[in-house]
Structure 1
Amino acid sequence: MRFAILGETRAWRDDGAEVPLGGPARRALLALLLVRPGEVVSADRLADEIDPDGALSAHALQSQVSRLRTALGSASLIERAGAGYRIVADDDDVDACRFERLAQEGRAALRDGDAGRAVALLREALELWQGPALAGLPESRTAQAAAVRLEERRLGALEDRIEGELRLGEHRAAVAELRELVGRHPLRERLAGLLMRALFAEGGQAEALVVFEETRRHLADELGADPSAELVALHRELLSADPSPSPAAPPAQLTSFVGRAGEVAEVAELLRVARLVTLAGPGGVGKTRLSVEVAAVAADDVCFVELAPLRDGDALAQVLLGALGLREHGLSLGDGGQSPVERLIGALSDRLLLLVLDNCEHLVEEAATLVARLLAACPRLRVLATSREPLGIIGENLWQVRPLDDEAAARLFTDRARAVQRGFAGDPRTVRRICAALDNLPLAIELAAARLRTLRIDDLAGRLDDRLAVAARGSRTADGRHRTLRSVVAWSWELLSGPEQRAARWFTVFAGGATAESALRACGTDGETLESLADKSLLEVSGGRYRMLETIRAYGAEQLDAAGEREPARRAHARHVLELVRTADPQLRQAGQLEWLAVLAAEHADLLAAVRWAVEAREVETALRLLAAASTYLWIRGAAASVAPQAIALLNHVGAADSVGVAVPDGLGEEYVACVLLAASGEAGRPVWQRHRAQAEKALAAAWSGPEPGRYPAVLLPWMMRNASEADPHGAFALVSSQRGRPEPWVRAVAEYVWGFGLLGEGGGTEAERGFGAAAEGFRSLGDRWGTALALDTLASLAGARGDRASAIALTDEALTLTEQLGALEDAADLLVNRGDHLSGDDTAAARADYAKAADLARRAGSATSLAAALRGLGDIALLEQELTEAERLYTEALERIDPYWIKSLGNRVRALAGLGRVAEARGDGAAARSRYQEIAESAAVIGASTTDALRLMGLPESLVEAVIHLR
């Protein structure tokens, strides 16, 4: 039997035949029983609801029940239970229950990023409605309350369905429906926001701004209220053309663009209707330059990612995070268990962006997998790829990039020749012959034209013809243009002097280009040789860095192998990178922090390449020293996970931790500790940490127990943070805090900071605050923004715990300024949540704005941990305003995103649990409240202080502290 109350009350037998229910009294009786199937409704209430005038006696009600049973054809469907009746029906047999289940599943799918499934579920749910809920029962209080609840959920499901459709790119179809809904519900801010997004996606920015203004006016006139923080943030986004963080821009071009203006326009037009376009063609045909020019005319934001230096496909998502300007982790030194791909999806899920992936061919499978996933989850994203072969995924539009036509090729040759030979005016027929011999390939033409610095054009033509004759005898199965390009590169290479060839060979080990100083040191060459290679187009110079075209780099790498020089060149490169990071390490803890962070960020790709080579070559000592020297930079930048796989592999080379211990090379115990901490920062970090923690603790104690300090003081801070959530963290706290007497200012500041946490665990709040204050002053005097922000954040928490909100807000504001200087997006989100917590007692509107802004930053950064904190804060506001259902939803979503093993998440976990406990109390569910408060007490015990003190330190209001202590 199936039942319907979403419209008129109706019933159908299993064969599809509709049941004649009879008069309005029987329909009303059935509807009231179906509001909550299986629950008992008292006879008195049924009689009162069916006939408010009181004319329906108990006997008459029983008669109506009997007639309804007869109509339904089963006496067992409606049971007598105590002093009332209930209907025996499965939830899925009632359209209202089925609607609520489908709507809930749809919302969950939307939250998980599966917009396609969400839309399908929500459409199925909404199709169940055949009219107003519980129609025909206008005088029933129960029916009216249920109808209001169902209509509200119907509207919420409509909003969810439209949001899913917008994520799928169905903006145009949604605009008309949204206009009608906004007209009927002018105070519904989510509908207004969805309409603004749909209009903006269709190019109607001005119309979207009008919608905001009309909504703002309605709210002011009818409620005397301002728009929500979320709608204000969306309004700001529409007004702003400078999104943060800034994605990597296409490389600046040093030469004119010749011969492809029509292709630029056509590819740009194709990208307006297609979400994935791949520029395919052989090496040297001009794919990269075409992609740069298309990006220059794109209306959307552009992120340009050069994949040529990348050798490890597993790091592809991390490279994209970096190109988007997103740090992998924040000051918390953890990622909340979220993978780089998940963070990318979080950052791009609602962002209008053109992502350019240049040189995909050597990572085509990994690139295809990642692009397919991003396009499925991020409906406003478009991708322009360059590759020598298609990505081979559904929805890909191929654009074959072909050689220049004869006229454009001749113009390109002449333009480049004039750059090296003033007043060049070669015979047009000779120029055309040279270009034709080079198959009109742009790179080959540019290489040939560069030779005119030392050759006459006739000599150039003669040598080129000879070279092509040799190349024509190559492999018949190879692409003809590829053979031609190889011959041009080989010919250009062989015209170099011996020192030039050696420098070019050794330069190929650089993954991300090099400064002149780096190239001179690693390649063992001189400045004149480097300048000569640039003059001959073997190297490019841009932004103070030398770079080598990938085609030339690949050829040079073959020559490096042929000369038997790969290992010496790699070793020299690793030695240079080690010298650089060693030089930078102490500067990162002083006033030059920002300057040296920028220096190392430019060398990041080469740092990864040097570490990878050292690990693969089993150069254990070199690898350990590289990781340790770079660890301060990696932790401050939030990029520790980028070396985690290499650190894990290195630990496997060193030996597995067992009863015998790890075979650490003599004198490198501290480097081993840094390696363990870096290995533990990745997705597979927890088991690594558990295997190596005991051995690392001994090594660290040995390094810092003598009169001389260790070589890498930055390991002390992550060591404490990593141990804080262990069952017995006191040894780690004691080891670090014992360094308070050291003469080195940075070490003293770290020791004061850690000492403060140890005092907190013993209940010494006043002394702890003195320690954190000393740490902040120590870090500040050195110019270390990272350490200062950490200490200020902790001081703010203590001030908030004792009720000094003004101090807490001032300290948090100072920490926020420092994190902005560091470019710490996730840290800024966390600090905004903290400031919202301090504001919430006095200014809920300001607190809500901070939480909303934090959520926006967290989504842009793809940080689940930071987003969980923001949702928890918004849940607190909803609870304050007695919106119990909304508060419960926000707290639950926050708990789903919180990593239970990470110490920095503990406070938000406790506060979310406390919120759910208060929701349960408000609903009269004491058992559920006690269960939540018991979970809180167990979580609070981790930090070692008394339960009461721990809860206060984690920011719980006094009323919640008392509730936990009372009910746990």
Structure 2
Amino acid sequence: MRFGILGGTQVWGDDGTPVPVGGPARRALLTLLLIRPGDTVPADRLAQGAGPDGAPSAHALQSQVSRLRAALAGAAVIERTGAGYRLLADPDDVDAGRFERLAAEGREALREGDAEGAVTALRAALRLWRGPALADLAEVEQGRAAAVRLEELRLTALEDRIEAELVLGEHRCAVPELRELAGRYPLRERVSALLMRALYADGGHAEALLVFEQVRRHLAEELGADPSAELMSLHQELLAVDRTPAPAAPPAPLTAFVGRSGEIAEVAALLRVARLVTLTGPGGVGKTRLAAEVAAAADDEVCFVELAPLRDPRVLAQTVLAALGLRERGLHAVDGVGQGALDRLTAALSGRTLLLVLDNCEHLVEAAAVLSARLLTTGPGLRVLATSREPLGVIGEHLHPVRPLDDGAAVELFTDRARAVRRAFVPDREAVRRVCAALDNLPLAIELAAARLRTLSLEELTGRLRDRLGVAARGSRTADTRHRTLRSVVAWSWDLLDPAEQQAARRFSVFAAGATTDTACRVCATDEDVLAALADKSLLERTADRYRMLATIRAYAAERLCEAGEESDTRASHARALLGLLRTTEPLLRGPGQLRRLDDLSAERPELLAAVRRAVGAGDWRTVLELLGAASTYLWIRGAAGAFAAQAAAVLDALGDDVPDGLGEEYALCVLLAASGPDGRQAWQRHREAAGRALAAAWSGTDAGRWPAGLLPWMMQHASDLGAPAAHALVSAQRDRPDRWTRAAAHYVAAFGPLGEGDFCAGEQGLRTAAREFRALGERWGAALALDALAGLAAARGAHAEAAALLDEALGLAEELGALEDCADLLVNRGDLTVTTDPDAARADYVRAAEYARRAGSEPTLAAARRGFADIALLDGDTATAREWYARALDGLDPHRVKGIGSRVRALAGLARIAQADGDAEGAASRYREAAESAALPGRALPESLRLLGLPEALVEAVSGRASAAPS
């Protein structure tokens, strides 16, 4: 017989059949006896728990015991012992006993590092619970202490289980449960610590830090206590994490590197004396693999840029930026004004020690040469390793020809790959040498041939290759002849595929860089077994959940696709699959899984570029508009819109103001994307009215647009435009939409109306609403924008502690988005809060801001940090240093960049103070006048304009009061 007290008291027979035990009094009596089976429970305690209305009655107790014995029918013994009763049962026959045993086993397994065993035991323990512990003793005092103890053990077991799941990498599933637990137990520090760890593991660094602030505040308010040492240590660990985006690493090797170990050292030595080294040779000779091995062995930081998928040389700089993990623009910037991608890239690499690998340059030789020359000229710590079938032709370039393997290495490679498909393969070295010689000792050809030993014997393979190639061995060969050999081997391997494999392989050639299994199956009209078979035969490579095809094989497969007449249909299928992915993912970009989804779409960026380029080439404007519209949210949040500006402009050139039916919103987003390019201002001026009408129609009345994230860049683009009132009204009108992100964005935009009119209270309320909504969604882009604006308002009214807390939160969000330029800007703002009260803290913020700005290649934010250095020097009385820093800052501060106006005003005011100190009253007044002109906003009084910039009141008074003293 089994008993249950973890919930309502239950009894089951050995066959699992429920056994009725009677009413509430009898169940309460049984519960008291089961709390510690085998232990005697005093009669008076049993009587208090089981008597009528809780009244102590010996007679009632005896009666209930007798009835309980009858109900149990002798399957369990209740004995009278001295002054009480006991129920004889094994603790494991009671669910509470089994729970405690399993929970202890799980905890011990976790302590010993067996996370899987811990999860198994703890899940089994927690499944025993059916409700509150000792539910039939809820009104009985005797059971409360035992129930509290069991509930505490339950919560501890739950924490242990979640901790074990985090060890196993199940952080995504744990976050919702931990959020709910943290809400129920806000003072339970272990729950908060687990939530912080889970959020961090899921990319929520800023959210994890916010959880710490919340629990710290709860502890202070409720208990007057500080967080524990363990929680403080976790907080410090998270603060110390470097959130700087990492450059793309060399591709992980799938097989052993055979035959070129000496060349790794040779190329590395060459890179120590030459800053540009190009590995040259025919396709399939192993240039990429050698470059990857050299990069993996390098001591310096490495960025590996795969150029094979790229076909448009105009976006080469953006491609390298993306590989470096850098954005083209900050969270606030949406137009092409200011630094272009090449300027930003040049600035980002100018002070960095880095090995930049440009792989597969042959189809972009001229663009790669121009880029390499410029980067090497401005970046003394930069070295470039290129792979190409021909030299780049740059002065100072050193060439390292990559030749076929020698005979011994070729045999070793063949044997290694053969054993991968036939473990018992015993090579006949002479026969293998002849095969490799027939293949010109080309690594790719050898791998393709060796993969066929799964189904062919070595003798059969030799005969088929001899028939195909017409030779058994070769002597010295030219690169062109080797190329024909490789092509023949690819064709031979292709001919051995069955029809389904050939179809999948030729259709796979439409992928620019690769595909997930699901997407590949959809586009190639195939299944996982066929893809796996192609990988087994070395026609595809598989890493993680993605497949890719080597450029040499892809070129051959593309020819077969064209010959089969399937090119148009396959490209359309590729575009449809990508469009479906974008449409499905876009809403998720505006929620808590934002970072993960951004990474997913970043892997698809080469496919998006390829699909858009093909659709533009085919004049398929509807497909281009649909793709750009669906991708726009990703492009804005990731700061990658500029890479698609030229293609968007091409669409507008073809369409003019003729908006396709049903695609008005996509047309408006296309105009915004075109405006993000270097020639974007002209595109914006030409098409903004048509775009405005189209967007208004999409978001009018009860209708809601498909891509709400476009509302923010629409408003930002109008920030200094004559159409700003209409844009502001359109976006503000969306505050009652059912979509939460749309409401948040509308509140954010609407707040700037009252702010512009001087109603700071109403404006701040709108921003707080926006921040609250964005936070609730777990969305970082909108939240960072709202928090930044709120911090400026708090600083303007002197609430520096509040402003610093808001900036800290915004900084964490910007770091997670890789928005280093915005991080630098936020750090400068935080330094400005403390520059007069804590110069050391301010200096640290300015230094960190400068580091972020340099890494991002952002001259304007670097100039703002320099202005901060000048402020500190002026406070120290070092006017000469301050003057120099102010001058350098002004050189880099764009007077048209809204985010830089505040720093420009501060720099000019600082120079005015220096002039005053030098006794130059006229010069001081002139500088104040310049500051006033920089800050002036149309229709606003000067003090109001200065306050809108978030400047402190002392500076507002100084600029407002003294600018008038300048001679007219």
Report the TM-score, using the length of structure 2 for normalisation: 0.72
Instruction: State the match for 2:429 in structure 1.
Output: 428
Report the Cα offset of residue 954 of structure 1. Answer: 1.3
**Matching residue's letter, 2:648:** A
Partners of 2:416 and 2:607 in 1: CA distance: 34
Unaligned runs of 5+ in 2: 1-239
Correspondence list, 1:390-469, <5 A: 390-469=391-470
**Matching residue's letter, 2:590:** R
Instruction: State the match for 1:780 in structure 2.
Output: 775
Secondary structure in 1 aligned to 2:395?
A: coil
**CA-based RMSD:** 2.1
Equivalent residue in structure 1 for 2:825, among 827, 830, 839: 830
Instruction: State the match for 2:670 in structure 1.
Output: 675
Report whether the alignment pairs 1:729 with 2:730.
no
Seen in structure 2, the aligned counterparts of structure 1 residues 768 and 945 have a Cα distance that, compared at 3 Å, is farther
Instruction: State the match for 1:269 in structure 2.
Output: 269
Asked if the contact 1:725–1:943 (Cα under 8 Å) also holds between the matched residues in 2, the reply is: no
Seen in structure 2, the aligned counterparts of structure 1 residues 862 and 895 have a Cα distance that, compared at 3 Å, is same
Partners of 2:471 and 2:567 in 1: CA distance: 27
Per mean C-alpha deviation after superposition, the further-off stretch among 848-857 and 904-913 is 904-913
Report whether the alignment pairs 1:708 with 2:703.
yes
Deviation per CA, 1:375-406: give whole Å up to 9, x if none.
Answer: 11111111111111111112111111111111
Report whether the alignment pairs 1:891 with 2:886.
yes
Which structure 1 residue ranges, 4+ long, deviate > 6 Å from structure 2? 240-243, 470-473
Partners of 1:652 and 1:667 in 2: CA distance: 19
Secondary structure in 2 aligned to 1:285?
A: coil
Instruction: State the match for 2:539 in structure 1.
Output: 538
Instruction: State the match for 1:357 in structure 2.
Output: 358
Instruction: State the match for 1:329 in structure 2.
Output: 329
Secondary structure in 2 aligned to 1:588?
A: helix
Instruction: State the match for 2:178 in structure 1.
Output: none
Instruction: State the match for 1:872 in structure 2.
Output: 867
Instruction: State the match for 1:819 in structure 2.
Output: 814
Deviation per CA, 1:289-325: give whole Å up to 9, x if none.
Answer: 1112212221211111111111111211111111111
Secondary structure in 1 aligned to 2:387?
A: strand
Per mean C-alpha deviation after superposition, the further-off stretch among 805-814 and 610-619 is 610-619
Report the Cα offset of residue 820 of structure 1. Answer: 2.0
Report the Cα offset of residue 953 of structure 1. Answer: 2.5
Report whether the alignment pairs 1:852 with 2:853.
no
Asked if the contact 1:304–1:358 (Cα under 8 Å) also holds between the matched residues in 2, the reply is: yes
Equivalent residue in structure 2 for 1:953, among 934, 948, 960: 948
**Matching residue's letter, 1:537:** S
Partners of 1:251 and 1:867 in 2: CA distance: 33
Secondary structure in 2 aligned to 1:277?
A: strand
Q: Quote the sequence identity (%).
A: 64
Report whether the alignment pairs 1:480 with 2:481.
yes
Report the Cα offset of residue 639 of structure 1. Answer: 0.7
Instruction: State the match for 2:301 in structure 1.
Output: 301
**Matching residue's letter, 1:319:** T
**Matching residue's letter, 2:257:** F
Partners of 2:426 and 2:909 in 1: CA distance: 81
**Matching residue's letter, 1:636:** I
Instruction: State the match for 1:97 in structure 2.
Output: none
Partners of 1:623 and 1:728 in 2: CA distance: 27
Correspondence list, 1:522-601, <5 A: 522-601=523-602
Seen in structure 2, the aligned counterparts of structure 1 residues 438 and 477 have a Cα distance that, compared at 3 Å, is closer
Partners of 2:276 and 2:499 in 1: CA distance: 45
Asked if the contact 1:772–1:791 (Cα under 8 Å) also holds between the matched residues in 2, the reply is: yes
Asked if the contact 2:795–2:951 (Cα under 8 Å) also holds between the matched residues in 1, the reply is: no
Instruction: State the match for 2:917 in structure 1.
Output: 922
Instruction: State the match for 1:509 in structure 2.
Output: 510
Asked if the contact 1:760–1:945 (Cα under 8 Å) also holds between the matched residues in 2, the reply is: no
Partners of 2:594 and 2:739 in 1: CA distance: 17
Instruction: State the match for 1:23 in structure 2.
Output: none
Report the Cα offset of residue 558 of structure 1. Answer: 1.7
**Matching residue's letter, 1:287:** K
Seen in structure 2, the aligned counterparts of structure 1 residues 470 and 751 have a Cα distance that, compared at 3 Å, is farther
Partners of 1:548 and 1:279 in 2: CA distance: 21
Unaligned runs of 5+ in 1: 1-239, 656-661
Asked if the contact 1:305–1:323 (Cα under 8 Å) also holds between the matched residues in 2, the reply is: yes
Secondary structure in 2 aligned to 1:942?
A: coil
Partners of 1:750 and 1:434 in 2: CA distance: 65
Instruction: State the match for 1:374 in structure 2.
Output: 375
Deviation per CA, 1:601-636: give whole Å up to 9, x if none.
Answer: 111111111111122211111111111111111111
Seen in structure 2, the aligned counterparts of structure 1 residues 699 and 922 have a Cα distance that, compared at 3 Å, is farther
Asked if the contact 2:664–2:698 (Cα under 8 Å) also holds between the matched residues in 1, the reply is: yes
**Matching residue's letter, 1:479:** D
Partners of 1:951 and 1:592 in 2: CA distance: 38
Instruction: State the match for 1:792 in structure 2.
Output: 787
Secondary structure in 2 aligned to 1:714?
A: helix
Report the Cα offset of residue 449 of structure 1. Answer: 0.4
Instruction: State the match for 1:42 in structure 2.
Output: none
Deviation per CA, 1:184-240: give whole Å up to 9, x if none.
Answer: xxxxxxxxxxxxxxxxxxxxxxxxxxxxxxxxxxxxxxxxxxxxxxxxxxxxxxxx9
Deviation per CA, 1:771-791: give whole Å up to 9, x if none.
Answer: 000000011111111111111
Report the Cα offset of residue 801 of structure 1. Answer: 0.2
Partners of 2:566 and 2:573 in 1: CA distance: 11
Instruction: State the match for 2:834 in structure 1.
Output: 839
Report the Cα offset of residue 469 of structure 1. Answer: 2.7
**Matching residue's letter, 1:904:** K
Seen in structure 2, the aligned counterparts of structure 1 residues 380 and 259 have a Cα distance that, compared at 3 Å, is same
Seen in structure 2, the aligned counterparts of structure 1 residues 728 and 925 have a Cα distance that, compared at 3 Å, is farther
**Matching residue's letter, 1:887:** A
Partners of 2:242 and 2:933 in 1: CA distance: 45
Deviation per CA, 1:714-749: give whole Å up to 9, x if none.
Answer: 111111111112246222222211222222211111
Partners of 1:877 and 1:354 in 2: CA distance: 36
Deviation per CA, 1:786-824: give whole Å up to 9, x if none.
Answer: 111111111000000000100000110011111222222
Asked if the contact 2:438–2:471 (Cα under 8 Å) also holds between the matched residues in 1, the reply is: no
Secondary structure in 1 aligned to 2:557?
A: helix
Deviation per CA, 1:654-690: give whole Å up to 9, x if none.
Answer: 11xxxxxx00101211111111111111221122112
Partners of 2:826 and 2:342 in 1: CA distance: 25
Asked if the contact 2:437–2:473 (Cα under 8 Å) also holds between the matched residues in 1, the reply is: no
Secondary structure in 2 aligned to 1:422?
A: coil
Asked if the contact 2:438–2:472 (Cα under 8 Å) also holds between the matched residues in 1, the reply is: no
Instruction: State the match for 2:80 in structure 1.
Output: none
Partners of 2:738 and 2:695 in 1: CA distance: 19
Partners of 1:685 and 1:927 in 2: CA distance: 41
Report the Cα offset of residue 941 of structure 1. Answer: 3.5
Asked if the contact 1:761–1:944 (Cα under 8 Å) also holds between the matched residues in 2, the reply is: no
Partners of 2:549 and 2:324 in 1: CA distance: 23
Asked if the contact 1:762–1:944 (Cα under 8 Å) also holds between the matched residues in 2, the reply is: no
Asked if the contact 1:756–1:771 (Cα under 8 Å) also holds between the matched residues in 2, the reply is: yes
Seen in structure 2, the aligned counterparts of structure 1 residues 309 and 702 have a Cα distance that, compared at 3 Å, is same
Deviation per CA, 1:868-887: give whole Å up to 9, x if none.
Answer: 22122222223333333333
Partners of 1:886 and 1:956 in 2: CA distance: 23
Instruction: State the match for 1:19 in structure 2.
Output: none
Report whether the alignment pairs 1:901 with 2:924.
no
Per mean C-alpha deviation after superposition, the further-off stretch among 916-925 and 615-624 is 916-925
Instruction: State the match for 1:746 in structure 2.
Output: 741
Partners of 1:952 and 1:964 in 2: CA distance: 11
Instruction: State the match for 1:689 in structure 2.
Output: 684
Aligned residues: 721
**Matching residue's letter, 1:668:** L
Instruction: State the match for 1:13 in structure 2.
Output: none
Asked if the contact 1:910–1:936 (Cα under 8 Å) also holds between the matched residues in 2, the reply is: yes
Secondary structure in 2 aligned to 1:546?
A: strand
Partners of 2:361 and 2:374 in 1: CA distance: 16
Partners of 2:899 and 2:957 in 1: CA distance: 23
Correspondence list, 1:30-41, <5 A: none
Report the Cα offset of residue 241 of structure 1. Answer: 13
**Matching residue's letter, 2:518:** E
Instruction: State the match for 1:249 in structure 2.
Output: 249
Instruction: State the match for 1:940 in structure 2.
Output: 935
Report the TM-score, using the length of structure 1 for normalisation: 0.72
Deviation per CA, 1:159-194: give whole Å up to 9, x if none.
Answer: xxxxxxxxxxxxxxxxxxxxxxxxxxxxxxxxxxxx
Secondary structure in 2 aligned to 1:511?
A: coil
Report the Cα offset of residue 279 of structure 1. Answer: 1.2
